[in-house]
Chains A and B, each alone.
Chain A
Amino acid sequence: MDTSKPAIFVNGGLLPMHVQKRVRIVIQVLGSDRGAVIGKSTDDHQLTVKGTPPSVPLTNFVEVIGIADSEKSIQAEIWTNFGDTFDTYSYNQLCQLANGEYQLLFL
Chain B
Amino acid sequence: MYRSSEFDGSAAAFMGGGFMPSQTTQLPDSSSSSLLSSRNREARCLLALTVKQICELPSNDESNFVIDGVEVTNVTIVGRVCQKEDKASEYTFLVDDGTGQIECTRWVQERIDTDEAEGILVGKYVRVHGHLRGLQGRRFINVFSIRPITDFNEITSHFIECIYVHFYNKRIRLPGATTQSQLANSTMNTPLKGYQTAPLNQSSAYSSADGLNNVGQMILNFLQQPIYLTNEDGVHRNVVAQQLNIPMDKLMDELQSLVDNGFVYSTIDDDHFKSTVNA
Contact = CB atoms under 8 A, between A and B. Distances in A.
A30 B162 CA distance: 31
Interface string A76-107: 00101011001100110110011001100111
Interface in B148-178: 151-153, 156-157, 159-160, 162-163, 166-167
Contacts, number: 75
B45 interface: no
A106 B98 contact: yes
Nearest to A22: B98
Contact of A90 (B51, B125, B156): B156
Nearest to B186: A101
A61 to B, nearest CB: 8
A78 B100 CA distance: 16
B52 A3 contact: yes
A1 B101 contact: yes
A24 B140 CA distance: 25
Given A1-B139, A106-B52, A91 B98 contact: no
Mostly, the A contact residues are: mixed
B250 interface: no
Interface residues of B, number: 30
Contact of B99 (A93, A94, A105): A105
Interface of B: 50-53, 55, 80, 96, 98-103, 123, 125, 138-140, 151-153, 156-157, 159-160, 162-163, 166-167, 185
Given A80-B123, A105-B163, 4 more contacts: A6-B52, A6-B99, A102-B163, A105-B166
Interface of A: 1-3, 5-9, 24, 61, 63, 65, 78, 80, 82-83, 86-87, 90-91, 93-94, 97-98, 101-102, 105-107
